Structure 1
Amino acid sequence: MTYPVTERAFGLAIIALSGMQLMAVLDGTVVNLALAPLQAELGLSDAGRNWVVSSYVLAFGGLMLLGGRLGDAFGRKRMFLVGVALFTVASAACGLAQNEAMLVLARVIQGAGAAVASPTAFALVATTFAPGPVRNQAIAIYAAMTGVGSFSGLIIGGALTEVSWRWIFLINVPIGLAILALGWRALTETAGERAPLDVPGAILATLGSTGVVFGIVEGPERGWTDVVTLTAIVVGLVLLLAFLTVERRARNPLLPFELFHDRDRVATFVAIFFSGGALFAMTVIVAVFVQDVLDYSPLRAGISFIPFGGGMALAAVASSWLAPRVAPRWIIATGAVLTVGYLIFASTITVESTYWKNLFLPIGGIGFGVGLAVIALPLCAIANVDQKNIGPLTAISLVAQNLGGPLGLAVVSAMAASKTLSLGGRTGSAVDMTRPEIVALGEGYTFALLGCAVLAAVAAVSALFIRYSAADVAQAKAAQDAVHR
């Protein structure tokens, strides 16, 4: 096979591919710091506010496996450019949104664009850069964008929101146009593989997850016995069951069941799902708490998350040292237990709390605990498998993490709303709330942090059922590196 790039990785091709990855990851977090002003300006309910973040992640996670298959079937360069174009147009629509429906719909399209562009971008790395040092450099640059996007999204989101929340979306438009131009010029098309596409499976998985999330999110406001709430949850569960049935019969399923015969791997995916839910929900809850209750500006709120990134960086160093020496279940369980402890600590904050006394330590501690867990889990997902299954299992672990986020947020947000309403407070924008209503709102948010602690505790228990050894994880890492080379 002839590779377009054989001498050095840095160039137009890797700028286009890693730039899209940066935007996709960034948009999963950048909106968190804009939620409070966005909610106030558009008059969103708490349910509507949650949909602004959940709609993107549901579409991204639910359609990611199909997105990768589209690149295989119709050409990766072509589908990468289609995904980037969708993402860019949807970003403009988000920035110009005038109401909740327009914003949420645009976020869904954004997520769908990212679900096509992101997996095809990673596949293009393998077909663009020659094996060896060049490809290793390209993968390192591409992977770095995931870390940079996750951490910097909160800071960038806070800074742009100081001007207007609309700029967190509009800034994507010139970047997206640049990526399209670079990708058109620098990338080489791949031959399509006309394998059958599991479109019904992708649609059923996405709609089923959306139905369950909708019912849980709307429950506190509509009532848990409301017809719409119950119907959404029941229909969502039925669609998810239909998805499992379709996957068993599909010629080219998105979710190959033979990969789940290993009980250790099932426990790994359960841990990934619940740790993803705890992380995603905690980030949103803390972001709105410091703005709505402690009256932080968006930029100050973003800066307050810096210890979280520091904690994750320390965890990466610790996990790298521990992985060859300690069974992964103990590393993951320890990280999850630390997360539980610091979340319980964080749940004691009140309207009178200060950053250095009450927030600095738990934010950094949660970052360290989450880092220990999420660094080891993806390697457990690909332990003891053939190289041909590493790609699908890695994708499935990303989907589990992405779908766990909205479902976790839906549950803990329902807890927050129910607690606030039971104390005589009200949900929605905090701009015109009285002091007692702010206190009740804060009590709801801290109660939601206890919900996050429960999600992390389930991840900790699940980790204890992962029986892979340190040697298995080391072998998985070597196999992963071999695939990338």
Structure 2
Amino acid sequence: MSTDDSKEAMPPVSSFEPSASPASKEDEHIYVAETLSTPRQVLFIATVCMAMFTNQLGLGNTVGIVDVIGESFGLNTAGGQVWLLAGYSLSIGTFILIAGRLGDEFGHKRLFVIGMAWYALWSLIAGLAVFSSYILFIFARVFQGMGPAMTLPSSLAILGSSYPPGSRKKNMAFAWFGGTAPFGAIAGFTFGGLFSLAWWPWTYWSQAIGLAALAAFGAWVIPNQPPAPSVTQQSWRSKMKFMDVPGCVTGVASLVLFNFAWNEAVVVGWEQPYVYVCLILGVLFGAVFFWIEVFWAPNPIIPFAAFNMDIAFVFGCTAAGWATFGIWVFYFAQLVMQIRGISPLLLAAWYASVIPSGIISALAVGKTIGKLPASWIMVIGQVAYVVGSVLAATMPVHSNYWTYFFFSVLIICVGMDSSFPAATVLFSNAVPPKYQGIGASVVMTIVNYSISLGLGFAGTAEREVKKGQEGLAGVLVGIRAALWVSVGLAGLGLMLSLLFVAKEHFVGRASVIKK
């Protein structure tokens, strides 16, 4: 090689060098996972996948013992206990987009470690709430949710930047990321049931110990990610514009107030003035947020201006499906625990079929999503939600486990593991290339927020239908009403998915105009 050739091949000394074109910077990008040994890569991927595992763990460990927790705080109805679960999903759904933007700004590895440590701290406080009141426990659950809100988008970004696009290892890493969800849920059910036999706070204290260890281990095993010069070299004022602070504030306020109104109405009723005042304020803040994102923000946290009709269908199907799931997992558990009297530990065994169903569904979707249109996979997921929720709503109280309950769990899991990847693919196909990075974060926001909001809808139905009815008969009527809300939402999602397929067939997929 000549001297001139060697000079030409050398990278620029400074990142500020004018000759450093975007193409050359792309060529210089180092996919850090490929520099690791195979054992280190396994540890790296397993640690990053813990974000999804611990997210589902935090949901499952409370669903199974919500009666035990509620009884210790004097909350004896499913409607009164709904905040013990809804606050966690609300927090994740509200803050995940902001956390993704913070990861872009300050580093995704750093935010992953901070998120795990934050999650550990508030898990500790959730257990300590046994010495205080359910108010502290609910606050702890809300702040717990901020942990997964930080770790989930950071994990996706870390995996996305650590392997080259389209590589087999990258595809497998994302497959395992999604595949850990059922394992996390069942681990939550199991450990929650086990610790409830002794003292339920240990459910959260043991979780805190594990999360703290993960934070420390992640700081070591996750390789440092290359910084983004376009972000790190900005002035403080430019960084604030990049963060879209007005959009963050109004968006969070809208989501929190709107969701709070629906879930608080379950506890105190809509006759309380502050409930519908919060609902109205939530709608107003939402309108302001929409105006900021469309007409004012230079770097909108959600690029509404780039969305089209395809995105509206994706959002609608995803929201309806996962609201169905949130109602199903909470109220189906209430049905068999409160009416049938099964223990939290036995509930974990009853839900265990989500593991094989989830793994098979995830692998099947991974194999077919390139051959079968994602819109049809979405339809399959919505059909699964409808069938699974109908089985739950119509299950005779004393039916055999291997009939309604078993098949409901198997089928609902198909809906979960097909609708999420289908939604991310459809979102990716419908937006310009520069907005691809936010696709998974937007879908995960809708997933978690819909779970919490769906519980508010179902709780309102439960409260209104069971008025004046006491005892187990009243409990059963209220739970049935809530489960039928899930059937209605699943039917809405199915209708939207079929309309989307019809639109694609007769009109064609919306073209992407903005680059």
1:349 pairs with one of 366, 380, 395:
395
> Which shifted more, 322-331 or 165-174?
322-331
- For residue 283 of structure 1, the aligned residue among 329, 341, 357 is 329
Partner of residue 32 from structure 1, selected from 59, 63, 76: 63
- Deviations along 1:38-69, one digit per CA (max 9) or x if unpaired, are 11112236455211221111111111111111
3-state SS of 2:402 partner: helix
Aligned-pair CA distance for 1:419: 1.8
CA distance in 1, matches of 2:178, 2:431: 22
Q: Choose from 180, 184, 207 the match for 2:219.
A: 184
What residue is the counterpart of 2:474 in the other structure? 440
User: By how many angstroms is 1:172 displaced?
Assistant: 2.2
Mapping for residues 23-62 of structure 1, pairs under 5 Å: 23-44=54-75, 46-62=78-94
Q: CA deviation at 1:363?
A: 2.9
Which residue is equivalent to 2:145? 111
Runs of 5+ unmatched residues, structure 2: 1-28, 510-515
TM-score (norm 2): 0.81
Mark the CA change 1:218 to 1:177 in structure 2 (over 3 Å): closer, same or farther.
Answer: closer
- TM-score, length-scaled by structure 1: 0.85
1:201 maps to 247
Partner of 2:3: none
Match of 2:105 in 1: 73
**Partner Cα distance (1:227, 1:444) in 2:** 24
- Cα deviation for residue 343 of structure 1 reads 2.2
How does 1:31-430 map onto structure 2 within 5 Å?
Answer: 31-44=62-75, 46-97=78-129, 98-128=132-162, 132=167, 135=170, 138-186=173-221, 187-188=223-224, 190-191=226-227, 193=231, 194=234, 195=239, 196-248=242-294, 249-260=296-307, 262-316=308-362, 319=365, 323-324=369-370, 326-422=372-468, 424-425=469-470
Aligned residues: 458
Q: Choose 457-466 or 159-168, whichever is displaced more.
A: 159-168
Mean Cα displacement is larger for which, 153-162 or 281-290?
153-162
CA distance in 1, matches of 2:171, 2:424: 19
Provide Cα deviations, 1:252-297, integer angstroms capped at 9, x if missing partner. 111101331x212210111011111001111011112211111110
**Contact (CA 8 Å) 2:93, 2:449: kept in 1 or not?**
yes
How far residue 387 of structure 1 moved from its aligned partner, in angstroms, is 4.2
Distance 1:76 1:312, change over 3 A: closer
CA contact (8 A) 1:312 1:372 kept: no
Change in CA separation of 1:28 and 1:180 when aligned onto 2, cut-off 3 Å: same
The alpha-carbon deviation at position 443 of structure 1 amounts to: 1.6
Q: Deviations along 1:418-445, whole A, 9 cap, x unmatched? A: 22224x22xxxxxxxxxxx112101211
Q: Take 1:121 and 1:361, find their aligned partners in 2: how far apart are those partners? A: 32
Residues of 2 paired with 1:48 and 1:239: CA distance?
Answer: 27
Is the Cα contact below 8 Å between 1:61 and 1:402 reproduced in 2? yes
In the aligned structure 1, how far is the partner of 2:402 from the partner of 2:180?
A: 30
Q: Whole-Å Cα distance in 1 between the matches of residues 195 and 416 of structure 2?
A: 27
For the aligned residue pairs, the C-alpha RMSD in angstroms reads: 2.8
CA distance in 2, matches of 1:374, 1:214: 25
Structure 1 residue 326: Cα displacement: 4.6
Q: Contact between 1:77 and 1:190, CA under 8 Å: does it hold in 2?
A: no
Change beyond 3 A, Cα 1:153–1:263: same
| Cα distance between partner residues in 2 of 1:338 and 1:15 | 30
**1:72 shift after superposition:** 1.6
CA distance in 2, matches of 1:364, 1:134: 29
Q: Residues 66 and 254 of structure 1 are in contact (CA less than 8 Å); yes or no, is this contact kept in structure 2?
A: yes
Q: Following TM superposition, by how much is the alpha carbon of 1:227 offset from its aligned partner in structure 2, in angstroms? A: 0.9
* Unpaired segments ≥5 residues, structure 1: 426-436, 474-485
Contact 2:266 2:456 survives alignment (8 Å): no
Shift of 1:96: 1.1
Per the TM alignment, residue 384 of structure 1 is displaced from its structure 2 partner at its CA by: 4.7
Q: Is the 8 A contact 1:66 1:199 kept in 2?
A: no
Find the aligned partners of 1:140 and 1:364 in 2 and give their Cα distance.
Answer: 19
Contact 1:336 1:370 in 2 (8 A): no
**Letter aligned with residue 403 of structure 1:** Y
| Residue identity opposite 1:56 in structure 2 | Y
